[in-house]
Amino acid sequence: MGYLFSLKNISLHYMLKQEKINILNNISLKIKKNERVSIIGESGSGKTSLLMIMAGLQRASGGLMTFENYNFTKISEEQIIEIRKSKIGMIFQDFYLLPNYSALENVMFPLEINKLINPKKKAIAILEELGLGKKINNLPSELSGGEQQRVAIARSISFNPEIILADEPTGNLDAKNSSIVIKILFDYSKRYQKSLVLVTHDENLAKKSDKIIKIKDGEIEDND
Amino acid sequence: MIDKTFIFICLKDFFRNKKKLSKIFFTFFLSLFVFSSVLVLESSIKQELNKSSVMLLGGDFEITSGKNPIQKVILEKIKKNFQISEIIEFNTIIRNESESLPIRVKAFDENYPLVGELKITPEKVMKNNENNIYVNKNTGFILDLKINQKVKIQDTFFVVSGFIEDLPDLNNFFSYGDFALIQKKSMNSLDLNNLGSFLQHKYKVVKNQKNDQSLKNLLKEEKNLKIRSSNDLNEQLSKNSNNFIFFLSIVSICSLLISGIGLYNSLLSFINSNRLQISIYKSLGISKFRVKVLMIFQIILMLVFSSLFSYLLSILTVNNLNKIFDTDLFSSKYKFSFFQYFAILSLSLIILMTFLFPITKLLDKFNISDLLKKNRQNLEFSFDKHSILICSFFLTIFISITSIISSKTYETFLIFIFFIICLVLFFYFSKFQNYLIYFLNTNNITLRIIKKNIKNFSNFNSIISISMGVGFSIVFFIFISSSSINSQINKSMLNFAPDYFFVGIQKEDYKKFKYAINELDENAKNKIVKISSARVTKINDLAVEKIISKQNDSFWFINGERRISWQEKIPENNYLTKGKWWDKESKNLQLSIDDKVAHNFKLNLGDKLTLNIAGRNVVGEIINFRKVDYTDMTINFAILINPQYGNKIPFEHLASIKFSENKKINLKGLIDSFPNITYFDLRIIVKKTNDFLNKVFLGGGLISSFVIFIGLLVVCSSFKLIESFKNYQNMIFKILGLKPKHIIRILLIEVFLISIPIIVSSLLLSTVVSYVFINYIIGFEWHYPATTILLISLTFLISLTTVIFISNFKNLTKNTYSQLRRL
């Protein structure tokens, strides 16, 4: 079976006043298509950094990483952006919505830059499906945290990416909103047979995944 | 309300914020550096220009008492309050064993020169026991004089003690050609009665520093004394320097207005960059009032530091400009003036207060929920009625103070009106731009993002448009005005002034003289005109002495014989202000009169002047008035007559000659061949005048270039206002799949869409305003440097493109995730 993501001996470190700070050490893992993976670990263990490397938002200091047939450690940033644009959906704990764009415009944006047809119609359909039909014209500042995260999810799934990378998507949400957001993500992944990588420190949430990767002090402690 | 602990928190916060504040400090500093530099430059140049004109006159004042000296009582009265040097000037003939030469002699006392330096070669002190004489180099050359050689004036022997290289008070003295200096005590051996009508007693006067009594007040009863101050030394020079100093004050006001824009933008940036911090303070229970005090404290502290630093640096810069530009234009000993610093600080504080109130009102809009919701949406800020009222109040104070202290209150006030019109125009212009963008319907994602950006950042875009519009209008205004003034100064340069005047060329010598000049230098430019002498005796049949007073500015016109000339065509440097050129059919005497004389005598076309020509009274009719420019030192006449009549009267020729540059001319042969011809050497005064104008030219160019450069920087930096919002948005664009080059393309098109129409509009506006300013306020000829303006605009666009490209490229190519976390 082909792997969507393959990481081999990935490491990340930076220098702080001539002192080498290791964030990730020799991380090797593989993620299959239609696989749901949770990365868990304590705060500061390096899980978000790992996710950012996978998204191409951070360059690894060493090792090899491939996405489909692309070697992320060798290709240019421009090429990574081009791949991310159409194949990787991102969700962040802090939502990172475009502040001056309405919910609808936020969701339409990836559809438009991917030049997909009927972006508005598609965006409205997704937002309605996620229970935001009445708030499509609201700006992020006019939405609650849970609503903002749902807009972020809608934006990340709108262009039908191969994988969704979610960095603690429920970190800023209450229990009710958390379960709504998780349900949406897992349902989407299963329904459209897309991969999902979820960074969380909630072990119960992680148990819903096909695979759990536990990271401690920048190294994989357990690869279940 | 404000306790010690709070002050401690303020100070701590100030030092903790140093990185953020350093950016603002730079903007503050740049804006204030422009203003203080222009002020320091203005004062420095004023001092130097004043020194130059004092030098040309030989003192702060010159009193002329004519043939007789000033009465001793009056002289004592002057001596009590002023330093004084007594001088007697007269025309005479200097002879060696075989030759003679007409010269102007200046007899000086022991106080001479009061200002400047008398340069003599070889450097030698006059011997007390002899009649010593210093001669100008040309006299020495013509008469082949050596040091210690004896020459004769009247029947008295003088010993040549040196050759004059330079003397400070050349003004007026020059026009008599060759000259010499003797000691005043030597006058005892000369027969003053035989020195003719050109004998003049002159007194050079310098103000006593401890006394500020006005000389004109002191001598107001003495109607026979003519007092000239260094300010009215030379009408054209004075007009140039006065206008130049007025222009400098306009530039300094413009620089302060540019500073205002810079201050306003930096305040907004500062408040914006502290948004999160302010929300946290509020969440921790610090009251709105204290948060405002905290911010205002930091801003004012910054203003004090940056104003002091910029003032000190501007003094240092100005003091070193002479070295940099190899000139002596600037005062190299300019010292810190507490008063000047206080003025800079106060005016900047007023400007700061103008904008501070509406900006601190923004602080009320930051709330804790924004912080919790991580709201990064743009601030909606607009001036409410209360803010507009307070802004107007401070602006009125600022306008009133600067207009009142300016030398030209009314004109300065008009410049402010121009500024306010600019503000209002560009405010509505930005609204209009947004309105136009609203109609841009396109499926192109780049254009749609641009449209969205312009709409979303309309608040900031309004500020950018106003900053750019006002900034550019001021920059273009300064540029067009300065190049018009410089073009005028360039015209005033005596580039075409002749080297020599030759008077008394008889009809029979005319061809020989022309040939001799051609032999000396075949490329010499010469102008030879026919001249005669006439005295105005009556105006409309009334005796002139009865209707024109001695106090009349044009009294010289009727005081004695005048040279008159006749020409077929109107002279090149004259133009008609009223009437027509000659009526060729008429054989009667027709007159063309200097426009200024006509104004002072209230003459009209058709008036009759009675001229005494060669002992015969002839009545002529005034048929036109001419604007005569005597300052270019070419041949000019206050009275021209029609050639039909002129050719009937006895005449001789007057020639002005300009030899080729760098060509060494030996006039000895010419003078020997034409013993009856008198010549005047104009070269020294031409050089002195040109040096003075060169200083003004360089100073004007330097200051305006400096303000233009900083103005462009301030305008450029206005785009930094929305940088943090844009950076955040751009990072998200990048995560969602927009490539850095695409994002930069979006930013650039957006900047061009905003800036190009503004550049074009501000160019139109400043063109109109500078036209009015130069033509009707300064009274110079308007000059439009189209190519340079195009270059400035292109340079600005290229610089802006480069700045935007570099700053965004740097951000966009850095690690996206770490960038995002920092924002």
pLDDT surpassing 60 at residue B767? yes
What is the per-residue pLDDT for A154? 93
What is the per-residue pLDDT for B211? 56
Centre a 10 Å sphere on the Cβ of residue B83 and count the other Cβ atoms it contains: 17
CB of B734 within 8 Å of any CB in chain A? Answer: yes
Residue B588: band (very low, low, confident or very high) from pLDDT cuts 50, 70, 90? confident
A28-67: pLDDT as tens digits: 999 999 999 999 998 888 998 999 999 998 889 999 999 9
CB of B818 within 8 Å of any CB in chain A? Answer: yes
How far is B362 from chain A, CA to nearest CA, in Å? 18
pLDDT surpassing 70 at residue B29? yes
Q: Which among A59, A95, A113 is the nearest to B445, CB-wise?
A: A113
What is the per-residue pLDDT for B213? 60
CB of B452 within 8 Å of any CB in chain A? Answer: yes
B35-94: pLDDT as tens digits: 787 777 777 767 766 777 777 777 888 888 877 888 888 888 888 878 888 888 887 888
Contact (CB<8Å) A78/B739: yes
Q: Which among A49, A85, A99 is the nearest to B737, CB-wise?
A: A85
For range B172-180, the mean pLDDT = 63
CB of B371 within 8 Å of any CB in chain A? Answer: no
CB of B374 within 8 Å of any CB in chain A? Answer: yes
What is the per-residue pLDDT for B196? 56
Between the alpha carbon of residue B705 and those of residues B102, B320, B699, B701, the distances in Å are 49, 17, 10, 6
What is the per-residue pLDDT for B234? 52
Q: Which among B452, B457, B735 is the nearest to A90, CB-wise?
A: B735
Whole-angstrom distance, CA of residue B553 vs CA of residue B484: 29
Higher-confidence position of B171 and A179: A179
CB of B510 within 8 Å of any CB in chain A? Answer: no
Interchain CB contacts (distance < 8 Å): A and B:
77
Residues of A in contact with B456 (CB under 8 A): 100
For range A6-18, the mean pLDDT = 88
Whole-angstrom distance, CA of residue B152 vs CA of residue B263: 72
Q: Is A71 helix (H, G, I), strand (E, B) or coil?
A: strand
Residues of A in contact with B731 (CB under 8 A): 96
Whole-angstrom distance, CA of residue B208 vs CA of residue B437: 68
Q: With CA atoms as reference, report the closest residue to B544 among B535, B532, B531, B553.
A: B535
Between the alpha carbon of residue A14 and those of residues A20, A24, B818, the distances in Å are 6, 10, 12
Residues of A in contact with B376 (CB under 8 A): 99
Residue of chain A whose alpha carbon sits nearest to that of B731: A96
E strand residue ranges, A136-181: 163-167
How far is A169 from chain B, CA to nearest CA, in Å? 15
Residue B241: band (very low, low, confident or very high) from pLDDT cuts 50, 70, 90? low
Give chain B's mean pLDDT: 79
Backbone angles phi, psi at A192, to 5 degrees: -100, 10
Angle at which helices B275-283 and B288-325 cross, to 10°? 150
Contact (CB<8Å) B739/A97: no
The DSSP code for B116 is S
What is the per-residue pLDDT for B715? 73
Contact (CB<8Å) B820/A96: yes
Residue A189: band (very low, low, confident or very high) from pLDDT cuts 50, 70, 90? very high
For range B481-501, the mean pLDDT = 75
pLDDT surpassing 70 at residue B378? no
What is the per-residue pLDDT for B574? 82
What is the per-residue pLDDT for A75? 92
Residue of chain A whose alpha carbon sits nearest to that of B728: A98
Residue of chain B whose alpha carbon sits nearest to that of A167: B817
Instruction: Provide the CA B626 distance to its chain's centre, in angstroms.
Output: 27
For B575-584, B652-661, B783-792, which range has the lowest pLDDT when averaged over its residues?
B652-661
Residues of B in contact with A97 (CB under 8 A): 732
For range B132-151, the mean pLDDT = 85
pLDDT surpassing 70 at residue B765? yes
Whole-angstrom distance, CA of residue B222 vs CA of residue B393: 50
Domain range list for chain A:
3-13+22-223
Interface test with A, best of B276, B368, B374, B738 (most A CBs within 10 A): B374
Handedness of CA B333, B339, B343, B349 (dihedral sign): positive
Q: For chain A, what is the largest distance between any 2 Cα atoms, rounded to a whole number of angstroms?
A: 54
How far is B808 from chain A, CA to nearest CA, in Å? 15
Whole-angstrom distance, CA of residue B640 vs CA of residue B593: 7
Q: Is ipTM > 0.85 here?
A: yes
For A12-26, B472-486, B609-623, B662-676, which range has the lowest pLDDT when averaged over its residues?
B662-676
What is the per-residue pLDDT for B760? 92
pLDDT surpassing 60 at residue B176? no
How far is A54 from chain B, CA to nearest CA, in Å? 12
Contact (CB<8Å) B375/A140: yes
Residue of chain B whose alpha carbon sits nearest to that of A156: B736
pLDDT surpassing 90 at residue B358? no
Residue B544 near residue B538 (C-beta atoms within 8 A): yes
Q: Which among B445, B456, B816 is the nearest to A100, CB-wise?
A: B456
Whole-angstrom distance, CA of residue B226 vs CA of residue B219: 10
Whole-angstrom distance, CA of residue B324 vs CA of residue B453: 46
Residue of chain A whose alpha carbon sits nearest to that of B454: A100
CATH of A3-13+22-223, one of 3.90.1570.10, 3.30.450.20, 3.40.50.300, 3.10.20.740: 3.40.50.300
- The DSSP secondary structure of B776-823, one letter per residue, reads III-S-----HHHHHHHHHHHHHHHHHHHHHHHHHHHHS-HHHHHHH-
CB of B662 within 8 Å of any CB in chain A? Answer: no
B519-557: pLDDT as tens digits: 888 888 888 888 888 889 999 989 888 888 877 878 878
Between the alpha carbon of residue B123 and those of residues B120, B142, B162, B392, B461, the distances in Å are 6, 22, 7, 65, 69
CB of B445 within 8 Å of any CB in chain A? Answer: yes
Contact (CB<8Å) B374/A95: yes
Instruction: Provide the CA B387 distance to its chain's centre, in angstroms.
Output: 38
How far is B479 from chain A, CA to nearest CA, in Å? 40
How far is B369 from chain A, CA to nearest CA, in Å? 10
Whole-angstrom distance, CA of residue B268 vs CA of residue B363: 11
Residue A47 near residue A41 (C-beta atoms within 8 A): yes
B492-507: pLDDT as tens digits: 666 667 777 787 788 8
Whole-angstrom distance, CA of residue B661 vs CA of residue B161: 31
How far is A140 from chain B, CA to nearest CA, in Å? 8
Residue B197: band (very low, low, confident or very high) from pLDDT cuts 50, 70, 90? very low
What is the per-residue pLDDT for B764? 93
For range B308-317, the mean pLDDT = 87
pLDDT surpassing 80 at residue B101? no
Show Cβ contacts of residue B154 under 8 Å, excluding neighbours closer than 6 positions: B92, B190, B191, B194
How far is B812 from chain A, CA to nearest CA, in Å? 11
What is the per-residue pLDDT for B332? 59
Copy the structure tokens of residue B558.
Answer: 């009727």
In the beta sheet, which residues pair with residue B182? B107, B133
In the beta sheet, which residues pair with residue A88? A163
Q: Which among A57, A86, A141 is the nearest to B373, CB-wise?
A: A141
Whole-angstrom distance, CA of residue A158 vs CA of residue A154: 6
Handedness of CA B553, B558, B564, B568 (dihedral sign): positive
What is the per-residue pLDDT for A73? 87
Percent of chain B scored above 90 by pLDDT? 6
Interface test with B, best of A21, A54, A98, A108 (most B CBs within 10 A): A98
For A98-102, A118-122, B132-136, B194-198, which range has the lowest pLDDT when averaged over its residues?
B194-198
Q: Which among A52, A110, A139 is the nearest to B736, CB-wise?
A: A110
Residue B210: band (very low, low, confident or very high) from pLDDT cuts 50, 70, 90? low
Between the alpha carbon of residue A77 and those of residues A56, A70, B743, the distances in Å are 8, 12, 14
Q: Which among A52, A81, A96 is the nearest to B737, CB-wise?
A: A81
Residues of A in contact with B817 (CB under 8 A): 49, 52, 57-58
Whole-angstrom distance, CA of residue A100 vs CA of residue B724: 14
Residue of chain A whose alpha carbon sits nearest to that of B738: A81
Contact (CB<8Å) A77/B813: yes
How far is B712 from chain A, CA to nearest CA, in Å? 30
For range B238-257, the mean pLDDT = 71
Q: Is B281 helix (H, G, I), strand (E, B) or coil?
A: helix
Residue of chain A whose alpha carbon sits nearest to that of B371: A141
